[in-house]
Amino acid sequence: MKHVARIGALALLLGTWAVQVEANSGDIQYRQAVFQAIGGHMTALVRIVRREVPHTDDAAVHAAGIADLAPLTRHIFPEGSGEGRTDALPAIWNNADDFARRRDAFIEAAEALRGVAGGPMGEFVPAFQNLGGTCQGCHDNYRAD
Ligand code: HEC
């Protein structure tokens, strides 16, 4: 009887673990999907800024897409989502103040880009470069290569 109880407890434990792993991978996959969406808009903007395509008017759509998505980075790094199939480094949670500063700089830069979208390219390009710098600043410190 004792034996059965033990097996029961083990099954319960494994069950809970399985659910946690699933929840964790959902968090990770959601986060990566959000970044892929941001990355898609950035790639499109690179093509526009380099004048490889004539869709200058689309720049405002992509800038707005990034500005809308940027604040999601406030909640897509829940505790425990640094383990699994992720490139998010433990420093995100160990160095939370610096991470938050970089995240806020990114949100601000995305909002600034939205603000100059539709105006002259001479204002858009520096704001775009500034935004790109905030991506890299975070990736260099908090994302595995
Ligand atoms: C505050 C930190 C931070 C900022 C700012 C940031 N990123 Fe990231 N990014 C990350 C982290 C951490 C990951 C790894 C996520 C994971 O694997 O769970 C990531 C992953 C990605 C990925 C890969 C997603 C995948 O498929 O796994 C892309 C693409 C990306 N970021 C693009 C960008 C772009 C473009 C910007 C700027 C416009 C940006 N990021 C700004 C932290 C940041």
pLDDT digits (tens, 9 = 90+) for 42-78: 999 999 999 999 999 999 999 999 999 999 999 999 9
**Tell me: the pLDDT tens digits for 8-34?**
666 666 666 555 555 579 999 999 999
- pTM score: 0.88
Q: Which atom of ligand 1 is nearest to the CA of 86?
A: 17
C-alpha 35, offset from chain centre = 4
The 10 Å CB-count burial string (b at 16+, else e) for 31-69 is: bbeebeebeebbebbeebbeeeeeeeebbbebbbbbbeb
88 C-alpha to ligand 1 centroid (Å): 9
* Structural domain includes residue 68: yes
C-alpha 34, offset from chain centre = 6
Residues with CB under 6 A from ligand 1: 28, 31-32, 35-36, 38-39, 42, 66, 73, 86-88, 102-103, 106, 131, 134-135, 138-139, 142-143
What is the token pair recorded at 5? 């109880």
Residue 66 belongs to domain spanning: 28-142
CATH label of the domain that carries residue 49? 1.20.120.10
* Structural domain includes residue 1: no
* pLDDT in the model for residue 24: 76
CA-proximal residue: ligand 1, atom 37 (nearest): 135
Given a cut of 80, whether residue 122 has pLDDT beyond it is: yes
35 C-alpha to ligand 1 centroid (Å): 5
Contacts of 134 (CB under 8 A, 6+ apart): 102, 105, 106, 109
* pLDDT in the model for residue 23: 53
* pLDDT in the model for residue 138: 98
**Residue 145 — pLDDT band, cuts 50, 70, 90?**
confident
Long-range contacts of 18-21 (CB under 8 A, 24+ apart): 20/80, 21/84
* Structural domain includes residue 96: yes
DSSP state of 143: B
Given a cut of 90, whether residue 105 has pLDDT beyond it is: yes
Look up residue 122 and give its amino acid.
G
* Structural domain includes residue 4: no
* Structural domain includes residue 19: no
* Structural domain includes residue 3: no
* Structural domain includes residue 10: no
As for how many domains the chain has, the answer is 1
* Structural domain includes residue 9: no
90 C-alpha to ligand 1 centroid (Å): 15
Mean pLDDT of the residues in the chain: 91
Contacts of 77 (CB under 8 A, 6+ apart): 31, 88, 92, 93, 99
* pLDDT in the model for residue 113: 98
Given a cut of 70, whether residue 36 has pLDDT beyond it is: yes
